[in-house]
Each structure stands twice: as C-alpha cells, then as structure tokens.
Structure 1
Amino acid sequence: MKKSVILFSIFFFISFTINTVNTFAQAKIYSQGFYTMKDLNLADNVTYIVENNEPYVDGLLFIINSSKNVEQFIRIPPSSTRNPLIPIKPDYKFIIYGDVKLTFKQAKIS
C-alpha cells in the first residue's frame, strides 16, 4: 500500500510539472514600402504565399530583380489568404503599395 501511494504521488507530481505548451511564431505584418529579402526574412528558392489582412483595402505587390525588371506583379484583394509567389531569388526587391497589411508565409507542399 505504501509503495502504491508513493508511486501515485510521484506520477501526480510529474504530471503537473510537465507542461506542453505549443508556441507559434508571430507572423510579421508589412505595410506600404520598399523591402529586400533580408527585411522580409525570406529564404531564397522557396515558394511563399502572401496574405492581405485588411478587410476593405486592395494592395499591390511588385517583385523586382537586380536588372530592374518586374518578375511578378500581384493585385491582392481584401482579406485574401492564398496569393502564391514565384520562387524567390536573393537579389529580389519588393514594393508593397497601398494601405494594406501583408504577411508572407511559406507555401505548404501538397
């Protein structure tokens, strides 16, 4: 009886000391401006999606290469969640235009 009480006490103590807390990185929100890959914390040769967090405002996203050619131009509607980007290269620059709040997330491969 004494052993079972001790084992139960140990199990009870361990169950309260083990915390399983899920942590998620807070997504950074970017507004109108000029950005580089380093500013946006993007990795090269990875496909991303861009989301517009504003419910009533359209936005524009320009992706420009080092030769000043537009690689991709996206008109992002309000509250949109799935706007795929081309695979990003290290020399790309980004222009966000409009009163929007954009987040960049890595696209899930399916």
Structure 2
Amino acid sequence: MKKFTVMILILITLMFVASASTPAFAQNLFKEGSYKLSDFVPAKNNSYFVQNISSKGNCYFAVMGENDALLQVIYLTPKSSRYNLIPLKSEYKVFIVGDGEIFIKGVD
C-alpha cells in the first residue's frame, strides 16, 4: 500500500511539471511589449531574424541602443517575410508595438 501511494504521488507530480513547462518553439514567439536580449533564445553570433506570423495584426519592431538611440525599426505586415536584425548586444532594448505575433530566431 505504501509503494502504491508513493507511485501515485510521483505520477501526479510529473503530470503537473510536464503541463507547466513551455514548449521550446513557444519561446520564440513574442507579442506587444519591451524585451531584453536575455528574453530570446540565444544565438551564437547575436544575429537574429524577425517575422510577423500573425494572420491579422500589423506591428512595429524597434531596437534601441545603449543611449536610447533608435537603431532599427521594421514595420511588419501580417504573414510577413523574414527580416535580418542588426547584431544585438546585451544592453540593447527591443520593443514590439501592435497586434501581431512576432517570431524571433537566431541565424546560424
């Protein structure tokens, strides 16, 4: 009886842990907000591409430098093609404004 109870507790714990984890592909999707480089899946050479995968919402994607200087702005229409970003540094800030859903991935 004791073994059965322990097994049930282990199974229940594993079920909750598995359901709480975020799938790997979902870590590349971002919506409106401000982000840091540490929020993205790391790229080897800090080179990334960006794409709006939303079917309806337009959005702006902006990169600001260390002195809050605007370094890059991209207007992304729904189902846009991929755009390469400038190499990102850890002190850069990224802003997404609009209703789109942005996919960001490192360029290998």
TM-score normalised by length of structure 2: 0.69
Q: Deviations over 1:12-55 (max 9, x none)?
A: xxxxxxxxxxxx94142110001111122444742111111111
Counterpart-to-counterpart distance in 1, 2:41 and 2:107: 15
Q: How many pairs align?
A: 85
Distance 1:106 1:40, change over 3 A: closer
Q: Deviations over 1:59-83 (max 9, x none)?
A: 1011001101001011011111311
Name the counterpart of 2:85. 85
- 3-state DSSP of counterpart to 1:50: strand
**After TM superposition, where is structure 1 displaced by more than 4 Å over at least 4 residues in a row?**
none
Question: Where do residues 17-56 of structure 1 align in structure 2 (5 Å cutoff)?
Answer: 25-28=24-27, 29-43=29-43, 45-56=45-56
Structure 2 unpaired stretches of 5+: 1-22
- 3-state DSSP of counterpart to 1:88: coil
Q: Which amino acid aligns with 1:26?
A: F
Structure number having the greater helix percentage:
2
Q: Which amino acid aligns with 2:91?
A: D
Structure 1 unpaired stretches of 5+: 1-23
Counterpart-to-counterpart distance in 2, 1:44 and 1:95: 22
Deviation at 1:103, TM superposition (A): 1.3
Distance 1:107 1:49, change over 3 A: same
TM-score normalised by length of structure 1: 0.68
Counterpart-to-counterpart distance in 1, 2:101 and 2:70: 22
CA RMSD of aligned residues (A): 1.9
